[in-house]
Structure 1
Amino acid sequence: MFTRSLCLVLGLAATGLSATGLSADPLPSWNDTDAKSRIIDFVVGASDPDSEDFVVQADRIAVFDNDGTLWAEQPVYFQLLYGIDFVARKGAEDPDFLTTDALNAAAAGDIEALMATGEEGLLEVVNASHADMSVETFQAGVLTWLDTAKHPKTGKRYDEMLYQPMLELLRYLRDEGFATYIVSGGGIHFMRAFAEDAYNIPPQQVIGSSIKSSYEVIDGTPTVLKDPGIAFIDDKEGKPIAIETRIGKRPIFAAGNSDGDFQMLEWTTAGEGPRFGLIVHHTDATREYAYDRDSHIGQLARGLDEGPDRGWLIVDMAEDWGTVWPSE
């Protein structure tokens, strides 16, 4: 996992100084395109008391999707890869654990066969790898996996496949008095395991999907358990609902990368005063991946069609980002 010292190197920790008061480029990994200019113009206006676009600090709330927006999401969501690895490891220890076609496909690492089992099969993998354990046990397993697992294309650790330009954007917003939140379809406990080290976003500012849970006192220890079954999906219409119930204010800045983020951007930018919607468009097959309308992961069609007319910024990864990964 990222250490605090590495976070400082990447500029993730708050500096205590206003970025607009510095001569240094607040977004050095962004190319000097219209995208970078629009972001800086918005942030400067929202944080300058003398600007007509000034927003009081209490209302400077920014929300970000995670998969495909802050870190990569191909060939499948990293959380699903965690579940597949968990099932494979447990199946090797106890073959009787592999009781269904979905679990056998996961244990074999056959993603195509697993996807063919449909939503029911995927839920079996989620329950097998996420449920019947305490939150602490689950998160410890996630951290162990992140310490050892490698991405099949890049060979990088999954927590090294963060987008450097987005890390800079998070830091820049915080330097200018914004509160940054993750609002993602990923599992809330999965993301909370690494979000603070990776993004400098504390657990209480991470909103995600969740499976069912229960409370028990086990051997004298009060414990929150993760149970089988889905409790809430933080996607599409669920995102504005989750923001309203968890944060209690409409954000003024929202960033996503797929049509699953459409309603979050729509609701954010429909408010009064200065608003900013941002979509990361994956156009770089050389450094990362290129996908949009027909992708099985992170499908982006409506956002491309309607986003520009709504004033949203469509970030072209190939054109607007000078670097992709922190290690470049």
Structure 2
Amino acid sequence: MSDTLGSLTTSGLSPSKQIKLWSEALTDLCGRFDIDPLDASTFDGLINYTSVSRLKLCQIEASQHRIGHTAPRIRNSDHPYVKILFQTQGVSYFEQNGRRIDINPGDCLVYDVSCPHSIVSPAFTRHDVVIVPKELLHERGLGVGNLSACKLSARGGTGRIAHDFVHAVFNEADKLSPNNATGVADALIDLLLLPLRDADMTLDRVGPEAMYVRAQGFIREHLRDPELSIDQISNALQCTKRYLHMLFSDRGMTVSDYIWQARLHHCRQELENASGKTITDVAFSWGFSSSSHFSRVFRKYFGIVPSAIHRAHGGASSVVSP
């Protein structure tokens, strides 16, 4: 079943408790915000929420208010999300980086939650929200370092399809098994990205080909490091191990295969250049930690033992090749 399914309302609470409850709810969903009911004596709000794998889906309605956070007290790590908001009733005014965007029913707003912003709703509003962890965008080769808030239409086309699917997922979330929830979440985020691409939204364009080139570059720079690992590469590139595996498997190899093959080619080049090093020295200088393992994989890959190459180019082997 879905990770979380619930509802909360400020109805019946004192004004101070209404603001406290709403603030705590938002903190649980996507980070801490300042909330101002404007000139109203009370704040009426209702949130229905659910989680589908790593996505959070909400249906929110609220009386007049202002919500936001400011630069002096915020850290990017406090709000590591991109929010996709579908306005279904009322009008809101969004401000971020000196820009103001008016949001009307049928509009969809996409923005980086970590960047200071405010949303003013002068009267009752209702909207559907999908909260997307930034790591899901990284997995798809998209960076959000320069993400600019973008308003799209959900009245037709891919925007309408995406909004309809959000509704369907929300309504069926409690019926999904964990495995199905993961598949549905993947399909939903890919569908949500369609209208963004249609609008040529400003995202860091780090597509699969560019990311693969970056991975190759990092591996080359650290090829001599015997501790070079998939974890180290994925952390450096800020992508998941799953995405990294996909980049290389699409090209017919594993990440480990690529690393070992690159090391073997460098070792053979040094052996052929008669560098004066022993076979063990060459192997260890390129990240191998076992002479016998090096000889075995070298012979398997090239069809010849390293000592034969070494002798042919005037070297003296210190490895007994099987």
TM-score interval, normalised by the smaller of the two chains:
under 0.3
Q: Which has the higher contact order (CA 8 A, sep 6+)?
A: 1
More strand by share: 2
- Structure 1 length-normalised TM: 0.22
Under a length normalisation based on structure 2, what TM-score does the superposition of the two structures give? 0.22
